[in-house]
Amino acid sequence: MESEVIGMRAYERLLRYAVVDSQSAHEAAVTPSTQKQFDMARLLKDEMEAMGLERVYADGYAYVYGFLPATPGREGDEVIGLIAHIDTAPDFNGAGVRPIVHENYGGGDVKLGQSGLVLSPAQFPDLSACAGHTLITTNGTSLLGADDKAGIAEILTACERLMEEGRPHGGVALCFPPDEEIGHGAALLDLERLGAAFAYTVDGGALEEINCETFNAAAACFAIRGVSVHPGSAKDVMVNASLLAMEINAQLPPDEIPARTEGYEGYFHVTDIKGDVGAAELKYIIRDHDAARFAARCEKLRAIGAAMNEKYGAGTVTLTLREEYRNMAEALAGREEIVERAVRAVKAAGLTPVIRPVRGGTDGSQLSFRGLPCPNVGTGGAGFHGPYEHISAERMDKAVEILLNIICGE
CA distance 8 to 317: 56
The verdict on whether 87 is a catalytic residue reads yes
Those residues whose C-beta lies under 8 Å from the C-beta of residue 85, and which sit 6 or more positions away, are: 148, 151, 176, 177, 178, 179, 180, 181, 185, 203, 363
Sequence letter at residue 333: A
CA distance 38 to 44: 10
Sequence letter at residue 115: S
The verdict on whether 47 is a catalytic residue reads no
Q: Report the half-sphere exposure of 314 (CA within 13 A, side-chain side).
A: 0
How would you list the strands of the sheet with 54-58, edge to edge?
A: 54-58, 64-68, 172-176, 80-83, 198-204, 376-378, 209-211, 354-355
CA distance 125 to 205: 13
CB neighbours of residue 178 within 10 Å: 27
Determine if residue 291 is left, alpha or beta; phi over 0 gives left, psi from -120 to 50 gives alpha, anything else beta.
alpha
Which residue, 403, 389, 323, is CA-closest to 361?
A: 323
Active-site position among 47, 77, 179, 180: 180
Count of all residues that appear for the chain in the document: 410
Which residue, 398, 391, 226, 374, is CA-closest to 312?
A: 226
CA 65 from chain centre, in angstroms, equals: 19
Active-site position among 47, 87, 213, 394: 87
CB neighbours of residue 67 within 10 Å: 21
Q: Which residues are catalytic?
A: 87, 180
